[in-house]
Amino acid sequence: MKAEKAGAAGDRPQHPADSNGRSRATASKWVRVMRRIVCLLVLIGFAFPAAASAARVNPQVAGLQVALRAYGLYGGPIDGIAGAATARGVAAFQRRAGLHADGRAGPATRRALGPLGRPLFGRRTLRRGRFGWDVSVLQFLLARRGELVAVDGYFDARTERALRRFQRARKLAADGIAGQRTLAAFWRRPATAVHPVLVRAVTSTPATRVRTLLNYWARVYGVDSTLVRAVAWMESGYQTNLTSSVGAWGVMQILPPTWSYVETVLLGRQVPRTASGDIKIGVLYLRQLLREFGGNSRLALAAWYQGPAAVRKRGVLPETKVFVANVLALRATV
């Protein structure tokens, strides 16, 4: 269950990069700068030659690794290094998608990856609710600077808080929106050393095992496995030991009161605090929400994110609608 509830729309300051009043010269400069960044990263990152693959970290490759992980085709660290495991994952995906299996993540491959395969980092302003490759890269860059965020491509409240901290450290407007100045700041040399983030640091269970558990409990309780996997990915990126600031834990990011509710009301017995137990609790709770809302998956997902009572009382909030749309878009991917 989402640890941070949906907030009212419009409560964040407008980012300079989104202002309708900015000058054409500023806009043109912004486009030129970001095009250079994108082109440079594409040239570095997607050739995958063996001699160069171990040489340097390219953040765009981290976005690729996250997408491959969602498909169960990459189990290594999210380190931004285009190594052999990443190339094998790309080739495996290409074969699955009916593409030429050359191990290179070109435009056709990225399109086939779906929502997590686009857009490249630097091509748009990023804010809470965004979803995609570029958000994965942003999370990777934040994690390299010591932030404990889920590297899963979804710009949630945790990512927003981490971005605000980065902005304050760089003496930028701490609005939690990654526009022109914030994106450019990631390419300046940091004051302290940074280290590649390893997804293994926040998960003790391989992604393939997590998918197996998700499919198992979905089958046991009669819930669509594609829906279960999409919710799990949006919550944690299949990371098993992730804990939010309010105590939501695991793959499904279950809050302690929700865990107790499922144990005492829905199941009638205790469930061990393991990856399997967390997924079991999450699937049971999702099934209950589907029943409460007459099988309407959109309303059930809204209740998962916002809370069932809040959905009934206030309707589906704008931020909740974004979450629901992203989950449904993921169903064909993860």
What backbone torsions phi and psi does residue 40 show, to the nearest 5 degrees?
-60, -45
User: What is the reported pLDDT for 27?
Assistant: 46
User: What is the reported pLDDT for 196?
Assistant: 47
User: What is the reported pLDDT for 197?
Assistant: 47
- d(CA 314, CA 216) in angstroms, rounded, equals 34
Give me the residue label for tokens 């999450």: 282
User: What is the reported pLDDT for 205?
Assistant: 67
Task: List Cβ neighbours of 283 (8 Å cut-off, separation of 6 or more).
Answer: 214, 217, 218, 220, 221, 223, 228, 252
Which CATH number is 27-202 given? 1.10.101.10
User: What is the reported pLDDT for 51?
Assistant: 37
User: What is the reported pLDDT for 150?
Assistant: 86
3 state SS for 73-138: CCCCCCCCCCCHHHHHHHHHHHHHHCCCCCCCCCHHHHHHCHHHHCCCCCCCCECCCCECHHHHHH
User: What is the reported pLDDT for 206?
Assistant: 75
- Number of neighbouring beta carbons within 10 Å of residue 118: 16
The answer to whether the beta carbons of residues 152 and 203 sit under 8 Å apart is no
User: What is the reported pLDDT for 190?
Assistant: 56
Task: Give the domain ranges of the chain.
Answer: 27-202, 207-330
Longest dimension (CA), the chain: 64
Could you tell me which residues are beta bridge partners of residue 126? 178
Does the domain at 207-330 match CATH 1.20.120.140? Answer given as no
Residue 214, token pair as written in the block? 């998700």
- d(CA 308, CA 300) in angstroms, rounded, equals 8
- The low-confidence residues of the chain, meaning pLDDT below 50, are 3-27, 30-31, 33, 37-55, 196-202
Contacts 24+ apart (CB under 8 A), 102-105: 103/48, 104/46, 104/47, 104/48, 105/45, 105/46, 105/48, 105/64
User: What is the reported pLDDT for 149?
Assistant: 86
User: What is the reported pLDDT for 54?
Assistant: 41
What is the per-residue pLDDT across 80-120, written as a single tens digit (0 to 9) for each?
999 999 999 999 999 999 999 999 999 999 999 999 999 99
